[in-house]
Amino acid sequence: MDRNALMMRSVGIEYARFESGFVAFDYDALMREAGDDPRAVADVQRETGVGDTPLLELRNLTALARRLAPPGKGARLFIKDEAANPSGSFKARRAAVSVKKAKELGFSGVIAATSGNYGAAVASQAAMRGLRCIVVQECFDSRGIGQPEIIEKARACEAYGAEVVQLTVGPELFTVFLSLIEETGYFNASLYTPFSVAGIETLGLEVAEQMRARTGRFPDMTVITHAGGGNVTGTARGLIKAGATDTAVVGASVNLQGLHMASDRDFNRKSFTTGHTGFGVPFAVMPDRSDVPRSAARPLRYLDRYVTVAQGEVFAMTEALARLEGLERGPAGNTALAAAFALARELDADRTIVVQESEYTGAGKHAQAQLAFARENGIEVRLGDPREEVPGQSIVLPATPELIAPREQDIDKLRRSRIRHAVKGREPELRRLLREPRDARDEQRWRETLAFLGEETKRDAAFVLETLTQTLAQQA
């Protein structure tokens, strides 16, 4: 069975129905496969104790940010405590919807390819629904050494009764994953189906409604840890459905520039297995590089800003959250908090920022375990200016809190890259469509192309046309 046919069978979606035009597909229709009402999705999640998590105001971190900010600046900081979910992270929301769908479609089991919290979430939900579960995990380098965080997550999956298939880093992950889907006939509980993304819409809805109840209005900004794009996409869609259309959506990733995610050498030279640029950038510009034919995670449709933080900044904020707010949470979930702490100093004191998720911590996920592992792998860990950090060589913990400062990324550059990737390999037909005159069929395809790429990049037709014209000129 070919890959696309296998993927369609394993998620119960005929993706070809949504294809249209030159490069376009009907994204809204794809998302309707999971329904339009996040409140109905929330009802599904409540069946297994997922959602309705606390919204906590970080008063002490807000006070610290204000001491470091210019007069009148320092937005109020809030955090959505997703560690309160059954498996300890926001990914329980994704898993709850996917596993319920698998049960409804009559699958006997579910399978997920992940080295992170999502595996534990799927395993937990499968246990509640009485389904079998397999988690396929990139765990080790060629020496058989695995990161403490990944190993701990494997233990969590096994504790919920899942079978964990552990692999060394490299391309075999997807090959083994496909083979297991074909062999078992299990449901593909992918991070990138509409069911998974719809599960996060409830998080955006709760952020909006809880903030309005608490402060009388929607948040001015939400900062979201960005990896594969589902977190940004689902949260933003939930905010929009709640009416919070003016809330700025900011993605934050750990800067791991220079490290290759499929490199055996680099595998244990990074301290973050998700929420970093190794996922954040490629999945923004090439969203369909996922384990389904069309990904429901399309972050550039929703992002207003994209920033990066250093590993050392995230570890420092993890300690600050514990010491100042009494909340010990996992470092990966604090990527957005590190960015929000600095962004708060840009905004007026009457503004609000929500960090939209936290995650549980434990022995292997703890900051000290990860820093110790980094030292064992030859990484220098020191105090100083995080701007001096070199991924794979050093982790620089900020010597003072005012040194925590996210780096703004050129989001329009990412948008142009998204457009170029969308038409890659189809340049001859693009040249033909650009020529005048066009017949009625070509005219329709051209309008669909401009509209789709505009939606994909949150930009107008003029921006798309300019990018397409520049792309062809560079290749001439």
Question: Do 401 and 452 share a domain, yes or no?
Answer: no
443 token code pair: 């005219």
Residue 241: the pLDDT is 98
Long-range contacts of 427-430 (CB under 8 A, 24+ apart): 427/471, 427/472, 427/475, 429/22, 430/22, 430/468, 430/472
Instruction: Express each pLDDT in 392-416 by its tens digit.
Output: 999 999 999 999 999 999 999 999 9
Residue 164: the pLDDT is 96
Residue 135 lies in a domain: no
Question: Do 334 and 311 share a domain, yes or no?
Answer: yes
112 token code pair: 């997920």
Question: Do 255 and 403 share a domain, yes or no?
Answer: yes
Q: The domain that contains 265 carries what CATH number? A: 3.40.50.1100
Q: CA-to-CA distance for 198 and 236, rounded, in angstroms?
A: 11
Q: CA-to-CA distance for 377 and 375, rounded, in angstroms?
A: 5
Q: Residue 230: enclosing H or E segment and its boundaries?
A: helix 230-242
Question: Do 249 and 394 share a domain, yes or no?
Answer: yes
Of the given ranges (78-82, 179-183, 258-262, 387-391), which has the lowest mean pLDDT? 258-262
Residue 462: the pLDDT is 96
Ranges of beta strands (E only) in 129-213 are 132-140, 163-168, 187-188
Residue 34 lies in a domain: no
Residue 115: band (very low, low, confident or very high) from pLDDT cuts 50, 70, 90 = confident
Q: How far is CA 420 from CA 145, 200, 291, in A?
A: 38, 29, 21
Domain end residue (candidates: 365, 384, 408): 408
Residue 152 lies in a domain: no
Instruction: Express each pLDDT in 301-350 by its tens digit.
Output: 999 999 999 999 999 999 999 999 999 999 988 999 999 999 999 999 99
Q: Residue 352: enclosing H or E segment and its boundaries?
A: strand 352-355
Residue 464 lies in a domain: yes
Considering only residues 3 and 60, tell me which one the structure prediction assigns the higher pLDDT.
60
- Whether 20 shows a pLDDT value over 90: the answer reads no
- Whether 218 shows a pLDDT value over 80: the answer reads yes
- Whether 1 shows a pLDDT value over 80: the answer reads no
Question: Do 466 and 319 share a domain, yes or no?
Answer: no
Residue 3: band (very low, low, confident or very high) from pLDDT cuts 50, 70, 90 = confident
Question: Do 227 and 244 share a domain, yes or no?
Answer: yes
Phi/psi for 36 (5° steps) reads -100, -10
Percentage with pLDDT > 70 across the chain:
100
Question: Do 309 and 220 share a domain, yes or no?
Answer: yes
Q: CA-to-CA distance for 52 and 452, rounded, in angstroms?
A: 34
Question: Do 355 and 440 share a domain, yes or no?
Answer: no
184 token code pair: 């078992």
Residue 438: band (very low, low, confident or very high) from pLDDT cuts 50, 70, 90 = confident
Question: Do 344 and 468 share a domain, yes or no?
Answer: no
Question: Do 457 and 337 share a domain, yes or no?
Answer: no
Question: Do 353 and 391 share a domain, yes or no?
Answer: yes
108 with 185: CB under 8 angstroms?
Answer: yes
Domain that holds residue 425: 411-475
> Looking at the 3D structure of the chain, how many domains does it have?
2
Residue 104 lies in a domain: no
**pTM summary value:** 0.96
- Mean pLDDT to the nearest integer, 153-169: 94
Domain end residue (candidates: 358, 391, 408): 408
Residue 174 lies in a domain: no
- Mean pLDDT to the nearest integer, 432-449: 86
Question: Do 225 and 308 share a domain, yes or no?
Answer: yes
Q: CA-to-CA distance for 254 and 409, rounded, in angstroms?
A: 12
Domain end residue (candidates: 386, 408, 430): 408
Residue 240: CB atoms within 10 Å: 17
Residue 141 lies in a domain: no
- Whether 476 shows a pLDDT value over 70: the answer reads no
Residue 116 lies in a domain: no
